Amino acid sequence: MGIGLAIARHLTELHHGRIEVASERARQGATLTVRLPFMNAAELNSNASEQKA
């Protein structure tokens, strides 16, 4: 996984999310779960207005 996982983790954390990695056995693959916060349209509009000011 190396640098790809490091980049994915960094990007996820920049968006205030988290990344989880799980593997049952060695050499059997892994499951990566990315969790990002949800923002509704009102929050997006509010954030956009604040950034323009």
Q: 36-48, pLDDT tens digit by residue?
A: 988 777 777 776 7
User: CB under 8 Å to 21, separation ≥6 — which residues?
Assistant: 1, 5, 30, 31, 32, 33
pTM, rounded to two decimals: 0.58
Q: 3-43, pLDDT tens digit by residue?
A: 888 899 999 999 889 999 898 888 888 888 999 988 777 77
